[in-house]
Structure 1
Amino acid sequence: MPSLTRSLLLLPTLFSTLSLAVRPVEVRGQEFVDTVTNKRLMILGVDYQPGGQGGYKPQEGRDPLSDASTCLRDAALLQRLGVNTIRVYNLDPTLNHDECASIFNAVGIYMIIDVNSPFGGESLNRAKPASSYHKGYLGRIFGIVENFKGYPNTLAFFAANEVINDVGSAKENPPYIRAVQRDMKNYIAKHADRAIPVGYSAADVRPILEDNWKYFECAIDGKDDKSRSDFFGLNSYSWCGGDATFQTADSGYDVLTETFGNSTIPVFFSEYGCNEVKPRVFNEVQALYGKQMTALSGGLVYEYSQETSDFGLVEIGDDGSVKLRTDYDNLIGQYNKIDLALLQSTDPSATNRNPPKCSSDLISDSGFSKDFKIPNPPEGVDDLINNGVPNPVRGKIVPVKETKVSQKVYDSKGNEVTNLAIRPLANDDSNVPGGENGTPTGAAGAQASKKGSASAARTVQAMDQMCFVKLLCSL
């Protein structure tokens, strides 16, 4: 048998046994940086919470990353879309997430993990933050850290989401958010083998937005202040419809760019994609990933699945089938126009500036907190940080043995998609847009256009790199 033929026959076995992984990412100044290549990682992402808040059912042992078959289906469609990151809300620290995390890892997709949930005692109470900042709550958060710290594709953790959503909630909550960030980072430093970034996801409330960012960006005790945010996420829906532009007042992208241009931490859209005009055309993608906005680190489109709020890229049926929406087609078209070389061309060292020192002078709105005295950890939390949470579920990458999607998938015109499968990446790389059109007919990445020739080149590179295994190359 010719050696090449034998090599190709071995590929399924190789993919099922090798723990291929994306490279861990760290924060350097204003940017996320690949720790191996030292190139910038620009977030091309989608918010992922199938079933909405209802998808989190700890009483049934279910959350968005608990079912491997579902994750395989969605990973194939997200890989084909071209995303490299998902944000996952509402997770159960007592469940095993190895299979789902490994599937997303295999296709080059990072995960930003929210540590909170909508259930009582599992998030800060914005009305009375002191009452919810206790050992039980922090133990739950540390359990999420234990669960996801071992996956190389865990990009970051959100310590909180929109706890400050108006001027009234900006008075008492900021110090408690910083306290949670400090506690999480102290736990990570004690129990993880790498520094995993921790930050905040803010509501786009313009009267206090700049104060919000400045409060979490500044350092109280020098550059290594643990309570300081490692990054700042912004849930922004200001760009609405195809008539908006970078300069128009309704988008406000020019103002956001000017505001965050000199940030000393990464800033990105943790949610975006206004749905006032339907279907969404996503022409803001060209602005967000264009020359004028390279100071920002990309964003996550809200959201993958169609829920009651009507933001979905796909519709998920009760039987597990998926129908792509026109929004999915439009987004893939916009992603395919992105100049990927531009996104990686910036020099991370150029934005590695010292943070401003925390001071009341940074805050302009009289209703926003100027209190930089961060609450001490509740009683018993220091023991949790030093000794770890009891009986944690610690995740690890496992072999991905299945690649073909078992559920029925339909394109936006109702035609069934056949032979849909994930395409494991063999070169420890993150996923990129591959020039797909809006109507899949087979495996993810199978329809690369001329513009997507980078994907084909990457496949060749993957084969070359697998020679280091000395299995294929010796045949």
Structure 2
Amino acid sequence: MFSSAVLAPLLLAGLQAAAVSAVPHIEAVGSKFFFENGTQYYIKGIAYQLTPDDPLIDEAQCKRDIVRMSELGANAIRVYHVDPTANHKACMSAFADAGIYLFVDLDTFTTQIEQTNPHWNQTQFDRFKEVLDEFQQFDNTAGVFVGNEVLTTAEGSHAAPFVLAAARDIKAYRDQKGYREIPVGYSAADIPALRPMLQNYLACSDKAADRLDFYSLNAYEWCGDSSYTTSGYDQLQKNATGYNIPIFFSETGCNQPTPRSFDDQAAIFGTEMEDTWSGSIIYEWIEETNDYGLISYGPSVAGPATNTIVEEGYTRQGTPSPVQPDFNNLKSQWAKASPTGIALSEYRKSTASIKAVECPASTSGGWAVDPKAPLPTIGEAYNGQTATETGSSGSSGSSGSQTATRSSATTTENGASPMIGVTNPATERLLAASLALSSIFGVIALWL
């Protein structure tokens, strides 16, 4: 039998473990993100595709990188490609301990929605679900993307309904499975000819099930010694004013001319934009051929890789060394960026008045989407004029030759479902904690 000297510490440890709260979730309310405690969440993120396939499986490397990310002041990462069958618990736990949240893309090079041949089929949907199934278990998963820069030209608007169809279906699947309401969004290329039609189309439905939970933009307009007006950020702000869902920069950080000053961060987190925009994600973590990196693990390696820590000519493991002065420039900008935001309790007083933005009308030679047309269903593809049934399975037809590496400011990587009522996950967690505490107290009572 256990003596009281042995049992008491064990019981105390059990009580402490049961009392420890999980990492607070991020939720989208109206046009803003909030922590569970009601504090507004602003994104200070890094695009973190350290390895091409999955950067979230090497616990030791994650922890080394987290030290530098925390030094920068980062509270989020964006990961473009993951292996949903891998074990991500150690890395995700380490990021959570550091207060760093994840925005993850659901697609792959072979399942992404493509502008040249847009379609939405069961193969794509199944892959998206696998990634969601894996990452919904982590409290610090802040959001998922159903696409990255699918539309890259003024003539690409016919692909927009397929992006929205993917969001609709993954949201319905999320709710059907009883997962918490992880926000579902899209990362758009910054194409002036598509502004603001694309962002408005993806958010304009009166039904929450048929619109995005957030919209984000990959923008590289603020370059060198620029300003809020010279860069065009004032127009981005104008287009986003009154937007009904959260909007943020999912990539930013122009690198010409060098060095990178990141002066745009002062505007994004300052009085010009903080009430509308929810922060930014800086492209990117590792220094590669495109010279966007904040961190290096050593010089580039010529010729074929000779070991597993070198991929595509760059060492991707070891001690992260800051690329200077860029690293310190961003660190300095973020240290000065302290938007106050608004308390959720106060913000909720105005959410009833938030209305969906007006749907953009189809125009000849311009935005070519009929806002009244039904969204594609699984198995439909674009035939040059409308979406048509093609069957519910098959690959997306991607060549798979694209990479997650940015070589210029723009890259080409990459019927409403019913809402199903489920038990509130927060309630389930409280119930489980109560039962655990009751059991422990019962053991104490018996022991005494």
TM-score in terms of structure 1 length: 0.69
In the other structure, the counterpart of 1:165 is 152
Measure the CA separation in 1 of the matches of 2:357 and 2:45: 32
8 Å CA contact 1:208, 1:365 repeated in 2: no
Change (3 A) 1:351 1:299: farther
8 Å CA contact 1:211, 1:364 repeated in 2: no
Structure 2: 5+ residue stretches without partners: 1-14, 299-314, 380-390, 394-414, 420-448
8 Å CA contact 1:43, 1:298 repeated in 2: yes
In the other structure, the counterpart of 2:30 is 29
- The counterpart of 2:268, out of the listed 275, 280, 288, is 288
In the TM superposition, residue 74 of structure 1 has moved relative to its aligned partner by: 1.0
Matched, 1:338 2:325: no
In the other structure, the counterpart of 2:118 is 129
In the other structure, the counterpart of 2:204 is 218
**What are the residue-to-residue correspondences of 1:54-73 with 2, within 5 Å?**
55-56=52-53, 63-73=54-64
8 Å CA contact 1:181, 1:229 repeated in 2: yes
In the other structure, the counterpart of 2:177 is 191
In the TM superposition, residue 117 of structure 1 has moved relative to its aligned partner by: 1.9
In the other structure, the counterpart of 2:247 is 267
Measure the CA separation in 2 of the matches of 1:364 and 1:218: 21
In the TM superposition, residue 338 of structure 1 has moved relative to its aligned partner by: 1.6
- The counterpart of 1:150, out of the listed 137, 157, 178, is 137
Matched, 1:257 2:237: yes
| 1:263-313 deviations in Å (ceiling 9; x for gaps) | 000110000000011110111111110011121111101111112221001
Matched, 1:204 2:227: no
Matched, 1:325 2:295: no
In the TM superposition, residue 20 of structure 1 has moved relative to its aligned partner by: 6.2
Please give the secondary structure, in 1, of the residue aligned with 2:370: coil
- The counterpart of 1:276, out of the listed 227, 234, 256, is 256
Percent of aligned pairs sharing the same letter: 32
In the other structure, the counterpart of 1:245 is 227
Matching residue's letter, 1:27: A
Matched, 1:76 2:56: no
Measure the CA separation in 1 of the matches of 2:74 and 2:16: 21
| 1:199-244 deviations in Å (ceiling 9; x for gaps) | 111111112120011110101xx343x2301111000000001x21
- The counterpart of 1:141, out of the listed 109, 114, 128, is 128
What is the RMSD of the two structures over their aligned residues, measured on CA atoms?
A: 2.9
In the other structure, the counterpart of 2:44 is 44
8 Å CA contact 1:235, 1:270 repeated in 2: yes
Structure 1: 5+ residue stretches without partners: 1-13, 57-62, 387-475
Matched, 1:86 2:73: no
8 Å CA contact 1:31, 1:266 repeated in 2: yes
Measure the CA separation in 2 of the matches of 1:29 and 1:364: 33
Please give the secondary structure, in 1, of the residue aligned with 2:168: helix
**What are the residue-to-residue correspondences of 1:1-40 with 2, within 5 Å?**
21-35=22-36, 37-40=37-40
**What are the residue-to-residue correspondences of 1:380-419 with 2, within 5 Å?**
none
Measure the CA separation in 2 of the matches of 1:273 and 1:48: 14
Measure the CA separation in 2 of the matches of 1:123 and 1:359: 25
Change (3 A) 1:338 1:191: same
In the TM superposition, residue 362 of structure 1 has moved relative to its aligned partner by: 7.7
In the TM superposition, residue 366 of structure 1 has moved relative to its aligned partner by: 2.3
| 1:42-97 deviations in Å (ceiling 9; x for gaps) | 1111111114xxx21xxxxxx11111111111111111211111111111111111
Matching residue's letter, 2:123: G
Measure the CA separation in 2 of the matches of 1:330 and 1:91: 30
Matching residue's letter, 1:258: K
TM-score in terms of structure 2 length: 0.73
In the other structure, the counterpart of 1:399 is none
8 Å CA contact 1:48, 1:86 repeated in 2: yes
Measure the CA separation in 1 of the matches of 2:136 and 2:212: 18
In the TM superposition, residue 100 of structure 1 has moved relative to its aligned partner by: 0.8
Matched, 1:374 2:375: yes
In the TM superposition, residue 339 of structure 1 has moved relative to its aligned partner by: 2.6
8 Å CA contact 1:26, 1:195 repeated in 2: yes
8 Å CA contact 2:294, 2:322 repeated in 1: yes
Please give the secondary structure, in 2, of the residue aligned with 1:40: coil
Please give the secondary structure, in 2, of the residue aligned with 1:94: coil
**What are the residue-to-residue correspondences of 1:174-185 with 2, within 5 Å?**
174-185=160-171
In the TM superposition, residue 336 of structure 1 has moved relative to its aligned partner by: 1.0
8 Å CA contact 2:296, 2:323 repeated in 1: yes
Matching residue's letter, 1:140: R
> In the comparison of the two structures, how many residue pairs are matched?
353
Change (3 A) 1:296 1:363: farther
Change (3 A) 1:366 1:277: same
Matching residue's letter, 2:167: Q
Of the structure 1 ranges 360-369 and 172-181, higher mean CA displacement relative to structure 2 is found in 360-369
Change (3 A) 1:147 1:218: same
In the other structure, the counterpart of 1:316 is 297
Please give the secondary structure, in 2, of the residue aligned with 1:213: helix
| 1:314-349 deviations in Å (ceiling 9; x for gaps) | 112335232111111111011111234x24568533
Change (3 A) 1:280 1:351: farther
Matched, 1:113 2:104: yes
Change (3 A) 1:266 1:17: same
